[in-house]
């Protein structure tokens, strides 16, 4: 039987049987809070090597190997059981009550696991693709800390009621991530406000965000008009709300993993793109209306100036002009009368 890895369980006194003989590991023999593979090897060889018919050694990778010393060529059996913790987990072996390897000869080996350091467990858990977005492991002063990143409840097996990893037949539940649950509530509140903002954006009974149409006429004959209305990419009139933007009501499971959050973020980006497109369309319509408004204002000013020139005269200036005109008329009449009298005087001579 072989065990991969070079570190063992937490430094407490442990015992287990090999082929019926008991091996005891005293806590005083632990180094740095763990039993090394070498310490387990020495304990097996010293205490039960001969009586149990086994030999413990380390391979070239530092893994613990337990080999039967029975007759070569026969199907010898190496049995590990009766672990003091109830199973093999405290030593890092497979979490079963008995580990048996029946080989075909005296050197047959089979692999089981050896307990790993907290840092090694942290590295492996965080590197596991299946767990990466669901939990996060860390070393909390020598203790393995598991943080639930999901909003769903997390069940961890092999944990005692005191929170120790003993391999006991017990399951500990970790509540869902409260931070993400609160983010779900905030998301839904902001989502509701989006529809309320759209409903309140009305003026004179017209709400462009609800899909209403605003028709503007630029001349007195009604031949120059423009229709302003929210439309989708196909030109179909639409209302601007959560439904048309594809923003669905969020539930806790939508925020369970980073992948689901990314999917939700993609929906928001798509909705933001639609809003920007509609804002650009409204901006173009606004530019047209402003240009026509400026043109109309200038035309009004021109017409008012012309009307004022026709009706608003300076009385002093016009009185002087009238007096000059009357004077010219009187002079013309006098000159004409004098010319007529001269002609008559000439005629009287005959």
Q: Give the model's pLDDT for residue 115.
A: 52
For residue 75, give the nearest of 43, 52, 107, 50 by alpha carbon: 107
Q: Which of the pair, 227 or 342, is modelled with greater confidence?
A: 227
- Whether the CB-CB separation of 42 and 17 falls below 8 Å is answered with no
- Region 203-209: mean pLDDT is 88
Task: Indicate the Cα dihedral angle 229, 230, 234, 238, nearest 10°.
Answer: -110
Please give the pLDDT value at position 12.
57
Sign, Cα dihedral of 66, 69, 72, 76? negative
Integer Cα distance of 260 and 275 in angstroms: 23
pLDDT band for 4, please (50, 70, 90 cuts).
very low
Percent of the chain scoring above 70 in pLDDT: 73
Stretch 203-208: mean pLDDT, rounded?
A: 88
**Average pLDDT value for residue range 284-290:** 92
pLDDT of residue 141: 84
Contacts of 268 (CB under 8 A, 6+ apart): 247
* pLDDT exceeds 80 at position 287: yes
Cα angle 57-62-64, degrees, rounded to a multiple of 5: 40
C-beta separation of 255 from 180 below 8 A: yes
- Measure the CA–CA gap between 206 and 214, rounded to whole angstroms: 7
Percent of the chain with pLDDT strictly greater than 90: 15
Q: What does the alpha-carbon distance between residue 63 and residue 2 come to, in Å, rounded to a whole number?
A: 7
For residue 208, how far is the Cα from the chain centroid?
30
Q: What integer best gives the mean pLDDT of the chain?
A: 77
- Quick one: pLDDT at residue 120? 79
Confidence of residue 166 (pLDDT cuts 50, 70, 90): low
- Considering the entire predicted model, what is its pTM? 0.49
Determine the Cα–Cα distance for residues 24 and 108; give it in Å rounded to an integer: 24
Residue, of 106 and 12, whose pLDDT is higher: 12
**pLDDT band with cut points at 50, 70 and 90 for residue 11:** very low
Residue 8 has pLDDT above 70, yes or no: no
Mean pLDDT of 82-93: 58
Mean pLDDT, rounded, for 271-287: 91
Q: DSSP letter at 232? A: -
**Position 349 confidence tier, pLDDT thresholds 50, 70, 90:** low
pLDDT beyond 70 at 24: yes
Residue 148 CB coordination number (10 Å): 19
Instruction: Spell out the residues 6+ positions from residue 190 whose beta carbon is closer than 8 angstroms to its own.
Output: none
For residue 210, the tally of other CB atoms under 10 A from its CB is 15
């Amino acid at each position: 039987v072989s065990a991969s890895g070079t570190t063992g369980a937490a430094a407490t006194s442990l015992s287990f049987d090999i082929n019926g003989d008991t091996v005891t590991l005293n806590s005083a023999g632990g180094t740095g809070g763990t039993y090394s593979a070498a310490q387990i090897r020495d304990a097996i060889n010293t205490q039960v090597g001969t009586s149990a018919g086994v030999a413990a050694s380390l391979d070239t990778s530092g893994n613990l190997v337990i080999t039967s010393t029975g007759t070569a060529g026969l199907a010898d059996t190496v049995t590990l059981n009766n672990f003091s913790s109830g199973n093999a987990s405290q030593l890092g072996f497979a979490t079963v009550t008995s580990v048996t390897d029946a080989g075909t000869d005296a050197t047959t080996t089979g692999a089981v696991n050896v307990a790993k350091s907290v840092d090694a467990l942290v590295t492996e858990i965080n590197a596991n693709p299946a767990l990466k977005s669901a939990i996060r492991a860390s070393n909390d002063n020598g203790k393995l800390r598991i943080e639930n990143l999901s909003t769903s409840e997390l069940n961890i097996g092999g944990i005692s009621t005191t929170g120790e990893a003993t391999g006991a037949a017990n399951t500990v539940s970790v509540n869902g991530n409260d931070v993400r649950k609160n983010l779900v509530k905030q998301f839904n509140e902001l989502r509701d406000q989006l529809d309320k903002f759209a409903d309140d954006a009305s003026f004179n009974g017209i709400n462009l965000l609800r899909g209403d149409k605003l028709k503007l006429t630029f001349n007195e004959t009604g031949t120059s008009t423009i229709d302003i209305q929210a439309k989708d990419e196909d030109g179909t009139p639409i209302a601007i709300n959560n439904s048309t933007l594809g923003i669905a009501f969020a539930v806790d499971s939508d925020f369970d993993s980073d992948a689901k959050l990314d999917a939700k973020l993609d929906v928001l980006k798509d909705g933001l793109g639609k809003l920007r497109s509609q804002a650009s369309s409204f901006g173009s319509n606004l530019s047209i209306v402003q240009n026509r408004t400026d043109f109309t204002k200038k035309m009004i000013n021109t017409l008012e100036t012309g009307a004022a020139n026709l009706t608003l005269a300076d009385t002093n200036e016009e009185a002087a002009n009238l007096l000059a005109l009357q004077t010219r008329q009187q002079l013309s009449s006098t000159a004409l009368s004098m010319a007529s009298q001269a002609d008559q005087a000439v005629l009287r001579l005959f």
